[in-house]
């Protein structure tokens, strides 16, 4: 069993972070998990079994103001890990993304990466999230012990899920985002679909 748990958040507008900070976010929140996973896969393939549990975030599914670099890394982690889950399942290897909401840890505190500059034009759009981080620290509804128990349950299942979302706040955020995305996609679907060569037939992508 491999559990990828390391991560660090951010608090600031996308433009305020340096490229070096963006790379640091990708290194810790994406590449580190990918590297650890690649290190154990050969042994798991040889034995024909294994569990990889990778902690992502609801921010890997839902973009948030004042958290752009973190969301970018988690979106990358989601895509890579879900692809791996499809590839590894026939080999007896189970891969699960864990997508927590807010849990009562130090994650929302001073450990968050801060930008190298402050651009006042962005204050109105990111101030609510920064205020939320400050006010919620130590008061999040999520219980880390219960989250850990749910993660431990994954290794006892014969068919664990590819995704395990944790926290009522995460589910609420996802429900709202999914509805908005579907509405926007539907509004543009006719125009978006009308982009094929004349007379071309649909060939569905096989997964």
For residue 161, what is the DSSP state? -
Q: Which long-range contacts (CB under 8 A, 24 or more apart) does 81-90 make?
A: 81/33, 81/37, 81/52, 81/54, 81/56, 82/162, 82/163, 84/37, 84/52, 85/162, 86/207, 88/41, 88/44, 88/52
Which residues participate in catalysis according to the annotation?
70
For residue 165, report the phi and psi dihedrals to the nearest 5 degrees. -85, 140
For residues 22 and 32, what is the distance between their CA atoms, to the nearest angstrom? 14
The CA distance from 151 to 36, in Å, is 18
């Amino acid at each position: 069993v491999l559990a990828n748990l390391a991560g660090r958040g951010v608090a600031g507008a996308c433009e305020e972070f340096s490229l070096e900070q963006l790379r640091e976010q990708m290194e810790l929140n994406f590449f580190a998990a990918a590297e650890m996973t690649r290190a154990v896969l050969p042994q798991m393939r040889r034995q024909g079994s294994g569990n990889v549990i990778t902690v992502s975030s609801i921010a890997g599914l839902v973009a948030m103001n004042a958290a752009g670099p973190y969301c970018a890394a988690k979106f990358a982690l989601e895509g890579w890990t879900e692809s791996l889950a499809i590839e590894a399942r026939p080999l007896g290897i189970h891969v699960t993304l864990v997508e927590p909401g807010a849990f009562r840890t130090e994650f929302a505190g001073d450990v968050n990466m801060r930008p190298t500059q402050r651009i006042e034009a962005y204050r109105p759009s990111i101030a609510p999230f920064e205020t939320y981080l400050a006010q919620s620290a130590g008061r999040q509804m999520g219980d880390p012990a219960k989250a850990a128990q749910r993660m431990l349950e994954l290794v006892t299942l014969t068919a664990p899920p590819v995704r395990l979302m944790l926290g009522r706040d995460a589910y609420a955020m996802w429900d709202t985002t999914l509805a908005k995305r579907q509405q926007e996609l539907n509004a543009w679907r006719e125009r978006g679909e009308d982009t094929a060569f004349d007379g071309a037939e649909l060939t569905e992508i096989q997964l």
